[in-house]
Amino acid sequence: MPDPLRSLFADPRPLALLLLAGLALLGGTIARRWLQRLRIPQGAAYILIGIFLGQSGLGWISHDLTQRFAAFNLYALGIIGFIIGGGVQREFLRKYGRQLLVIVLSEGLGAFILVAGAAGLLAYHFTQDWANALGVGLVLGAIAAATAPALTLDVLWEQKTRGILTTTLVALVAFDDGLALLLYGMAASVAAHLTRMHAETALWGALARAVMELAGGVVLGATAGWLLSLTVERSRDTQRATTFAIGAVALAVGLTLLLGLDLILGAMTLGLTLVNLAPRRSRPTFVAFEQAAQPIFVLFFLLVGAELNLARVPSWLWAVAIAYLLGRSAGKLLGANLGARWAGAAPPVRRYLGLCLFGQAGVAIGLSILAGARFSEGFGNWVVLVITATTLVAQVVAPAAIRLGVKRAGEVGRNITREDLVTSLRVRDVMDAAPPTLSPSTPLEEVLRTFARHEYVSFPVVDARGELLGMVSFEEVRATLAGGDYGRLLVAHDLLTPAPIVLEPEMPLAEAIAHMREGYLECLPVVDPEEGKVVGLLHAHALNRALEAEVLRRQQYGEGNR
């Protein structure tokens, strides 16, 4: 089996590319489920699959094959830049304002500075090559600013969090990646010119060219974004607008490559310009792009894993990877704390925000691929390795850190809905465990008094042993109101109807509610299946009130703080 596959993937025709992409997406998604059971997060799972199939594993995905994805990678990064730019809306900025900007800059730059310093110094210490050391430091530092929006939102959702930390975090992760792209653009330009520069020749010339590259990217992106917004604004057809956008991104990526401008910055400016010039009309386009992002990330992770050649990794690079992890964590923690202080953010944000920023995923991987290709002669492979290895670690550590942060901040379990509550409860948890019951000989007068005293619309009738005989519901009692003077003629036994459905205490509440909805039943008896005795009553109105009160209580106080 391996050999035919290996030869297929080695086929020089385009089919190898398509086969790999198809198998990677399908097989990766299936294998992911399996890895998920081992509690390995999504991104890490795809990287591991890539490592298994790639140069360090079975060798099916060769270096040559991944190289053939170059055009795809560049375009995919253009799309990611475009999406991230599209997240930077004026409305959004106005809403979250200065505070957020201060925090983003301080935690992003905190990670950037510490990682760049630590990684750069270590690299110089081991290689004595200052240009490459500075380059790898700058590029790693830039990538360190990125976080993982999808991973973060997943954890927040899973933990049902709600509160000031959650709100800040959700807004923050959208901007982090933008900052990372910006920093990467600058870092990569500077690094490119530094490494190409010969010894003592003009440093300023190199920097000037770097600035040109960045400014050129911004100008190109802004121009393309403005032109695109004109078409999008004029076209009522969202498909047409999306097609235009796909073309515009490809064109912008192509032009930045042709003119030697910064690709990511160009694509990001394109998205940013479009979203702010045509905020409403461009909405469906961005939604379509976001849907396309998921498979792109899958391929990124797989390819980067496959490219990893563990045998050729210089051992000192592991030290750089550790320095990256430590520097990044320290930078995020410190930067978030200081930024929150400066911005005057609430105490939970100050204390726990840093913990929630360890995530690293697709954007970091994508940037490392970009760096790997651009600096293939120099430090490119170092970046790919360090980012791949640290992403594996971050994928495991970050969710745990976020959980800890939101738990300490007391925001877990507050974003609970009625549905969440229903799925977590059993009939026993919400039933009236001591409902008024009637005996068969209870006279009508007493039955009427029972109805008057309680809001229930029916009552269980039990025999001397507590076993259910049936229900007396308001329907039957109402018939007696028209009939007049019964005296002692009627007793509960005469009003009895069989219970339409009998609930059990351990039955999931959702099932009980389904029964009530289907049968338009307001009141159902709960009977112990072993003893046959009535142990409770479930009443729709009382149930709704209890659920609403519990939802409100948990939203205010979170889980566990009763």
What residues line the site for other proteins (CB under 8 A)? 440-441, 443, 475-476, 479-480, 482-491, 493-498
231 and 210 Cβ atoms separated by less than 8 Å: no
Q: CB 504 → other proteins: shortest distance, Å?
A: 24
- Output the CA torsion sign for 200, 205, 208, 209: negative
Q: CB 548 → other proteins: shortest distance, Å?
A: 34
411 and 349 Cβ atoms separated by less than 8 Å: no
- The residue assigned the tokens 């901040």 is 409
Closer by beta carbon to other proteins, 188 or else 471: 471
Q: CB 439 → other proteins: shortest distance, Å?
A: 9
- Full DSSP string of 394-441: HHHHHHHHHHHHHHHTT-TT-S--HHHHHHH-BHHHHSBSS---B-TT
Query: Residue 546 and residue 125: Cα distance in Å, rounded?
Result: 65
Closer by beta carbon to other proteins, 38 or else 482: 482
- Output the CA torsion sign for 28, 33, 36, 37: negative
148 and 356 Cβ atoms separated by less than 8 Å: no
Q: CB 456 → other proteins: shortest distance, Å?
A: 19
List, in order, residues 6 or more apart from 357 with CB less than 8 Å away. Answer: 107, 147, 172, 173, 176, 332, 336
Closer by beta carbon to other proteins, 4 or else 498: 498
DSSP assignment, residue 244?
Answer: H
* CB environment 25-55: b (16+ within 10 A), e (fewer): eeebeebbeebeeeebbbbbbbbbbbbbbbb
DSSP assignment, residue 377?
Answer: T
Closer by beta carbon to other proteins, 252 or else 491: 491
Q: CB 459 → other proteins: shortest distance, Å?
A: 15
Closer by beta carbon to other proteins, 467 or else 511: 467
Closer by beta carbon to other proteins, 239 or else 497: 497
Q: CB 406 → other proteins: shortest distance, Å?
A: 56
Closer by beta carbon to other proteins, 423 or else 441: 441
Q: CB 446 → other proteins: shortest distance, Å?
A: 12
Query: Residue 424 and residue 511: Cα distance in Å, rounded?
Result: 12
